[in-house]
A = this chain, B = another copy of it.
C-alpha cells in the first residue's frame, strides 16, 4: 500500500509496551485491599476524612492519607477542601473511580456468593495439611 512513514527507528510496539508497563503499574497501585475498601465505601456517598476512617475501620491515619493521595493522583478520587474552621475535606469518586467501583462491587458480590465454598475449601485444606 502507500508510503508508510519511517518507523524503523522505533520498535513498532513501543507504545504498546509503554502502555503495558503503565497498566501494570496502575494495577499494582490500585489492586490492594485498602484502595478497594476505600473505593467501596466512597461509592456509597461522599465522605469526610474521619468518616471514611471510621467506615473502613482498622486503617491507620497514615495509610488512609497515603492511599487517598494515590487515588487522587490517579484520578479516581476527588478531594474538596472547604475553607472553614475547623477544616472540612470531602472525598468522592470521579467518573473513573465510579467505573472501578463496578469492579469492586463485583468482587464484593463474588465474596458473598462464594463464602461457603471458601470456608469449605479452607477446612479441606487444613485437613489435608495438618490432618492424618
Judge whether A118 and B96 touch: CB under 8 Å.
Answer: yes
Residues of B within 8 A of A106 (CB): 102-103, 106
Cα A22 to Cα B111 in complex, Å, equals 9
Residues of B within 8 A of A99 (CB): 110, 113-114
Residues of B within 8 A of A62 (CB): none
Of the 9-residue stretches A42-50, A68-76, A85-93, which lies at the interface with chain B? Answer: A68-76
Residues of B within 8 A of A22 (CB): 115, 118-119
Judge whether A33 and B36 touch: CB under 8 Å.
Answer: no
In this complex, the interface size class of chain A, counting residues with CB under 8 Å from chain B, is 35 or more
Q: Is the interface of A mostly helix, strand, loop or mixed?
A: helix
Protomer copies: 2
Judge whether A122 and B27 touch: CB under 8 Å.
Answer: no
**Is residue A17 contacting chain B, with contact meaning CB distance below 8 A?**
no
Residue ranges of A at the interface with B (Cβ–Cβ < 8 Å): 19, 22-23, 26-28, 30-33, 36-37, 72-75, 95-96, 99-100, 102-103, 106-108, 110-115, 117-122, 124-125
**Top 10 nearest A-B pairs by Cβ distance?**
A75-B121, A103-B106, A73-B125, A31-B33, A28-B33, A96-B114, A31-B36, A103-B107, A23-B111, A96-B117
